[in-house]
Amino acid sequence: MQKQSDNIPQEELSEINVIPLADVCLTLVIIIMLISPMILQSMIQVQPSQAVSAPSKPGVDEKPVFVDITVQGFTINNNAVLTEFDFVRTLRNLLLDKKDKTVLIPPLPKSITNWWCARWIW
């Protein structure tokens, strides 16, 4: 003979069981409460880092290099450069000893096409 509970369809539980979650959370709270006095009593010692300043030369302001590209050629810091070889050599010598290697190039005039500029720069 079958029991009456076997004939009743079982419903699925779609809710979370909160009791195990609460047990885990309370256990973690107790562990933290036990450990925190040990940390406050400096059982763990941490050495703070020491900042070291880099030696610098006071009052030395490096100015950027200005390169202007025209149809006639290049000018570096308002000094005309006639050939590509002189341009590369002068630019390399100017940037060799600088920490700040900024090179400023103003916008190109419309008479200069992009391929011409790329050919000269690269």
Between CA 26 and CA 88 the distance in angstroms is 72
pLDDT score recorded for residue 30: 95
Confidence of residue 114 (pLDDT cuts 50, 70, 90): low
Q: Is the pLDDT of residue 45 over 70?
A: no
- CA dist 94 and 60 (Å) reads 16
- % of the chain with per-residue pLDDT over 90: 11
User: 78 in a domain, yes or no?
Assistant: yes
Report if residue 11 sits inside a domain: no
Domain enclosing residue 73, as ranges:
65-121
- Residue 83, domain member (yes or no): yes
The count of domains in the chain is: 1
Mean confidence (pLDDT) of the chain: 76
Establish if 110 belongs to a structural domain: yes
Reported pTM: 0.41
If you ran DSSP here, which 8-state letter would residue 4 be given?
H
pLDDT computed for residue 50 by the predictor: 80
Q: Is residue 58 part of a domain?
A: no
Residue 107 lies in a domain: yes
**Run of H or E including 69:** strand 65-69
Q: Is residue 43 part of a domain?
A: no
